[in-house]
Amino acid sequence: MNDTILRKKKLRVTPFRKEVLKVFLKNDHAISMQDIENELGDFDRITLYRTIKSFINKGVIHEIVMPGDIRKMALCDQVCDHDSGLHDHNHIHFQCKKCEEVFCVEIDKIPEIKIPGFQIEEQEIQAKGICEKCSGS
């Protein structure tokens, strides 16, 4: 699976890229750079930052900045194609107030917002509350 994602996004398949991608694939929520570093063990920090930048640029992952400058990253949907300009996400970013995890939650349609005199090119919706796991549902 790792090889397929990397090839589809026109990235060279390397053992390190496969390891970084594996970290994203095993999490059902967005993760921080610290989470990735903790998971990898022994690695070259510069190679990791270059890998993350390549993953963002090619649409493998997307960066999420929540209030309080909380920065996390999550896998892009398989239909996300950065090369053709379709690096779009029809989801909201939900942060649990208990466990503090950030989840990408799919929605059918993002509401259209119009602001007179402005042309909106991107919009991001963020929500906070209690996730399923923490609410016991």
> Which residues are annotated as part of the binding site?
96, 99, 131, 134
Rounded CA-CA distance 57/123 in Å is: 18
Give yes or no for a contact between 112 and 125, defined as CB atoms under 8 angstroms apart.
no
Instruction: Show binding-site residues for Zn(2+).
Output: 96, 99, 131, 134
The terminus-to-terminus CA distance of the chain in angstroms comes to: 31
Show the tokens assigned to 34.
């610290």
From residue 88, alpha-carbon distances to 94, 102, 127 in Å are 17, 18, 18
Assign 3-state DSSP to the chain and report helix, strand, coil percentages, each to 5: 35, 25, 45
